[in-house]
């Protein structure tokens, strides 16, 4: 019996929940001490896993049992690679987890309710270090799924407690809910290797198309997930299968010449997303699946992710001259090329946002996708790096003096710092390679100066940070922002608002390098003072948190000082939800707005629809004298 895939865990008193084991699905037939052990497609496991066979002989019943063979790693968790190469790992614990029974002492049990079948199964499984009863919990699917995530297990199975066993059928009464997206694929060919890589470049992948009588459908290709040994092993397996014609009826486009093979081998890939045209994004080879029949390798039971921002490393829509290369030695690294410049990104599979499952690679890809929108606000500006190399749950740190360690394609600028009494090498982020380099350092958030190296003492804009305390509501933040806008409107100063990506709002006014930081700061202080006079009950100009208390919003005018930085527009924030500092129309700054509405998954769609509404902050600046006169100063 097979399970369909579901997107989310759920609680239900009529369902039970089991661990989804990462091994070989197996049927064990025990008959008067004789044992047959075989895979779903009939391949025998008796010689490969004789320990399991010998322990199954100890069962004091005649039974047909459904289960999973697993091998445990050093952490005591199942690991498929160890199972697949068990001849090299015989010192590791091997186990057979029994989770269902099809027959007991000659009686067909398939039409009994699942909960009864499991009771019968539990009674015949002896206390044994190899043969294990796969237990379950009732009702609490969400908590069980979260526990499986914490243990880094493959996922869970949800099964209706009264479900029958339908041999060879896939039904809605058994559901698999994975912690990681995986897909079986048929190997249909391989591309020529490039550079120093040997044997082959990438595997060409397909699945059976159930809508077209089982014809093969192309779903992408990958060279990731291999080392030199596994490249050679795979190449050797493919040589006897070579054929001159493509097994696809459709024309498949690849960057390198393809050697086609008979579609005989099944592999399993992990991936991040399926595009609307059915292509896997960022597929990584995991292992061969000798236990999976080719006829069952379809996309029918894999949910297609709705396309927003492609949260993946496998970039398809990029500018000419840009591409991503997979590192043949390490499936956790990537090399990005921008024209002649190469940028290596490491540990791309590291989880940065645990609750959302967003990786370092997803962050890098976000910034490459958004580069054309964010770079105008970064060019020529020194960067203060806020680094979170271990993700948002670990403490980040600021890092400014990085220029000497930067690669040659990164521009730097020595600037004297009065606070440290020394010159600091600031990075200047003028291009995509530098942006990717910063992301690889762990810079989830990007923090540029308000001025450029052309005029370090003259900012391009003034900004007011509407910064709430713990007990302020976001409705108060919205009200404070609108009061600031009213004051600026009275002064004749155009203003532009964006979310902070955290708990506040940022208001900008273009100044076009016409004034010094000191002049801009004094004017901003006046605006904040006038706004505070209108709403003194919950706003303040007092910076010190202890003095202002926890019920007042700080109208931060001191951001307008040389060397101050704040999260750039379109910057990700290292906050739950992977929020983005997003420009707003003033009509959007109203009750019901929340910064969590704007995040890594939806910002590209928004920007493509509305364009860059924040660009005027880099345009024509205000006339301070005229603004002061209008305010009566």
- Is the pLDDT at 292 greater than 90, yes or no? no
Give the whole-angstrom CA distance, residue 475 versus residue 457: 35
- Better-scored residue on pLDDT, 278 or 413: 413
The encoded tokens of residue 5 equal 């895939």
- When mean pLDDT is compared across 80-84, 94-98, 412-416, 575-579, the lowest value belongs to 80-84
Q: How many CB atoms lie within 10 A of CB 227?
A: 12
Q: What's the length of the chain?
A: 633
Least confident of 199-203, 494-498, 502-506, 581-585: 199-203
- Render pLDDT for 363-406 as a digit per residue (tens, 0 to 9): 999 999 999 999 999 999 999 999 999 899 888 888 888 755 78
From 45-54, 342-351, 415-424, the region with the lowest mean pLDDT: 415-424
* Mean pLDDT confidence for 124-140: 92
CA-to-CA dists, residue 326 to 229, 333, 351, 361, 562, angstroms? 17, 7, 19, 12, 41
Residues of the chain with CATH 3.30.470.30: 2-176
Q: How far apart are CA 144 and CA 179, in angstroms?
A: 12
DSSP 101-164: EEEETTEE-TTS-HHHHHHHHHHHPPS-SSEEE---EEE-HHHHHHHHHHTT-SEEEEEETT--
Query: What is the C-alpha separation between 191 and 171, in angstroms, rounded?
Result: 37
Which ranges in the chain are annotated with CATH 2.40.50.140? Answer: 182-296
> By percentage, how much of the chain surpasses pLDDT 90?
59
According to the model, what pLDDT value does residue 211 have? 64
Q: What's domain 461-630's architecture?
A: Alpha-Beta Complex (3.90)
The separation between CA 628 and the C-alpha centre of its own chain, rounded to angstroms, equals 49
The CATH 3.90.920.10 domain(s) of the chain lie at 329-440, 461-630
> Is residue 613 scored above 70 in pLDDT?
yes
Q: 182-296: which CATH architecture?
A: Beta Barrel (2.40)
What is the tens place of the pLDDT at every residue in 316-367? 333 434 444 444 344 567 889 898 899 999 888 888 998 888 889 999 999 9
Task: Express as a percent the part of the chain with pLDDT over 70.
Answer: 92
Class of domain 329-440: alpha beta
Q: In this predicted structure, what is the pLDDT of residue 332?
A: 67
**Full 3-state SS string of 533-558:** HHCCCCEECCCCHHHHCCCCEEEECC
Mean pLDDT across the stretch 461-467? 97
CA–CA separation, 584 and 589 (whole Å): 7
**According to the 3-state scheme, what is the secondary structure of 368-400?**
HHHHHHHHHHCCCCEECEEECCCCCCCCCEEEC
At 633, the pLDDT band (50, 70, 90 cuts) reads low
CA 571 – CA 574 distance, rounded (Å): 10
The per-residue pLDDT for range 431-443, each reduced to its tens digit, is 999 999 999 999 9
Architecture of domain 2-176: 2-Layer Sandwich (3.30)
> Tokens representing 632?
């009566």
| DSSP single-letter state for residue 257 | -
């Amino acid at each position: 019996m097979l399970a369909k895939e579901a997107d989310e865990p759920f609680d239900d008193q009529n369902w039970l929940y089991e661990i989804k084991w990462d091994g070989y699905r197996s049927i064990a037939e025990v008959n008067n001490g004789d044992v047959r052990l075989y895979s779903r497609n009939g391949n025998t496991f008796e010689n490969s896993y004789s320990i399991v066979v010998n322990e199954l002989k100890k069962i004091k019943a005649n039974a047909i049992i459904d289960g999973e063979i697993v091998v445990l790693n050093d952490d005591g968790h199942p690991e498929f690679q160890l199972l697949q190469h068990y001849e090299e790992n015989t010192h590791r614990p091997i186990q057979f987890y029994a989770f269902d029974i099809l027959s007991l002492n000659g009686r067909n049990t398939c039409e009994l309710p699942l909960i009864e079948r499991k009771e019968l199964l539990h009674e015949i499984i002896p206390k044994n270090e190899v043969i294990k009863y796969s237990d379950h919990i009732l009702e609490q699917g969400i908590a069980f799924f979260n526990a499986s995530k914490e243990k880094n297990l493959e996922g869970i199975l949800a099964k209706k407690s009264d479900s029958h066993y339908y041999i060879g059928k896939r039904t809605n009464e058994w559901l698999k809910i994975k912690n990681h997206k995986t897909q079986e694929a048929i190997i249909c060919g391989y591309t020529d290797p490039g550079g120093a890589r040997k044997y082959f470049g990438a595997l060409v992948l397909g699945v059976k198309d159930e809508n077209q009588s089982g014809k093969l459908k192309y779903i992408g290709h990958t060279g990731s997930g291999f080392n030199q040994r596994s490249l050679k092993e795979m190449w050797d397996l493919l040589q006897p299968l070579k054929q001159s014609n493509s097994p696809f009826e459709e024309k498949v486009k690849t960057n390198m010449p393809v050697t086609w093979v008979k579609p005989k081998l099944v592999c399993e890939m992990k991936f991040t997303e399926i595009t609307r045209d059915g292509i896997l994004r960022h597929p990584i080879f995991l292992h061969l699946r000798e236990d999976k029949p080719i006829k069952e390798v379809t996309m029918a039971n894999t949910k297609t992710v709705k396309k927003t921002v492609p949260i993946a490393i496998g970039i398809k829509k990029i500018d000419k001259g840009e591409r991503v290369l997979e590192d043949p030695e390490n499936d956790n690294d990537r090399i990005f090329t921008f024209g002649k410049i190469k940028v290596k990104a490491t540990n791309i599979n590291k989880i940065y946002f645990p609750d959302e499952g967003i990786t370092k690679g997803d962050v890098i890809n976000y910034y490459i996708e958004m580069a054309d929108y964010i770079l105008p606000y970064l060019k020529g500006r020194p960067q203060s790096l806020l680094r979170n190399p271990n993700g948002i749950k670990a403490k980040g740190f600021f890092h400014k003096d990085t220029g000497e360690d930067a690669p040659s394609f990164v521009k730097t600028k020595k600037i004297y710092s009065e606070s440290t009494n020394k010159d600091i090498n600031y990075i200047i982020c003028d291009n995509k390679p530098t942006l990717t380099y910063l992301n690889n350092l762990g810079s989830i958030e990007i923090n540029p100066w308000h001025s450029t190296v052309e005029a370090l003492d003259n900012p391009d804009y003034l900004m007011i940070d509407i910064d709430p305390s713990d007990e302020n509501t976001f409705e108060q933040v919205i009200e404070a922002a609108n009061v600031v806008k009213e004051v600026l409107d009275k002064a004749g100063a155009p203003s532009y608002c964006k979310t902070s990506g955290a708990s506040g709002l940022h208001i900008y006014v273009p100044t076009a390098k016409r004034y010094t930081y000191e002049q801009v700061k004094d004017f901003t202080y006046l605006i904040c003072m006038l706004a505070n006079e209108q709403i003194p009950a919950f706003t303040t100009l007092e910076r010190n948190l202890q003095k202002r208390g926890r019920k007042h919003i700080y109208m931060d005018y001191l951001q307008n000082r040389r060397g101050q930085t704040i999260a750039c527009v379109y910057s990700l924030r290292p906050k739950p939800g992977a929020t983005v500092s997003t420009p707003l129309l003033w009509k959007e700054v109203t009750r019901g707005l929340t910064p969590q509405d704007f995040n890594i998954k939806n910002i590209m769609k928004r920007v493509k629809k509305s364009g860059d509404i924040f660009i005027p902050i880099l345009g024509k600046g205000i006339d301070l004298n005229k603004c002061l006169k209008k305010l009566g100063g």
